Amino acid sequence: MPTRFSYEELTVMTENFSKKLGEGGFGSVFEGIMSDGTKLAVKHLQGVSNMKKSFLAEVAAIGSIQHVHLVRLVGFCAEKSHMLLVYEYMASGSLDRWIFHGKHERSHGMYGKESYQTLPRA
Ligand SMILES: Nc1ncnc2c1ncn2[C@@H]1O[C@H](COP(=O)(O)OP(=O)(O)OP(=O)(O)O)[C@@H](O)[C@H]1O
């Protein structure tokens, strides 16, 4: 099961949500670092404050999935109206970039060998 973090812990891990990685359909994603140095992606969900029950059910379902080709849900936070998801950090960027442009860009050598090798987990 994923770890339950307090909002305070995630605020510390993301240095007050200061490093934005991107923006998704449900809110912004921020870089976080755990005390052991592990990098994380913290997704701060917006407009879901009345969905706490479904949120927790989803977390339990997604949190039980572990697959080499899927980004792992490390933890979550559901505190008052704050709902956040904590994922392992993916260094290769957005999946759409790989789906729509990956082949073309790779063939032109825009990504290093290392990025190419991480493709199955991107
Ligand atoms: N695990 C991650 N590691 C690193 N960056 C991430 C991670 N998850 C998301 N991001 C960054 O945050 C951006 C938004 O991600 P998010 O998953 O919220 O959006 P999305 O897939 O575009 O849309 P949706 O919210 O509809 O799923 C991504 O494009 C990426 O740059």
Report how far residue 83's alpha carbon sits from residue 80's, in angstroms, rounded to the nearest whole number.
Answer: 8
3-state helix/strand/coil string of the chain: CCEECCHHHHHHHCCCCCCEEEEECCEEEEEEECCCCCEEEEEEECCCCCCHHHHHHHHHHHHCCCCCCCCCEEEEEEECCEEEEEEECCCCCCHHHHHHHHHHHHHCCCCCHHHHHCHHHC
Q: Read off the pLDDT band of 1 (50, 70, 90).
A: confident
Q: What is the average pLDDT across 55-78?
A: 89
pTM of the model: 0.77
Pocket of ligand 1 (CB under 6 A): 21-26, 29, 41, 43, 71, 87, 89-90, 94
Mean pLDDT, the chain, whole residue set: 82
Ligand 1 atom at shortest distance from the alpha carbon of 25: 25
The full set of domains in the chain, from first to last, is 3-89 (3.30.200.20), 93-122 (no CATH)
pLDDT at 30: 98
Average pLDDT over residues 55-76: 88
**Percent of the chain's residues with pLDDT above 90:** 48
As annotated, the binding site for ATP includes 43
16-39 pLDDT, tens digit per residue, is: 999 999 998 889 999 999 999 999
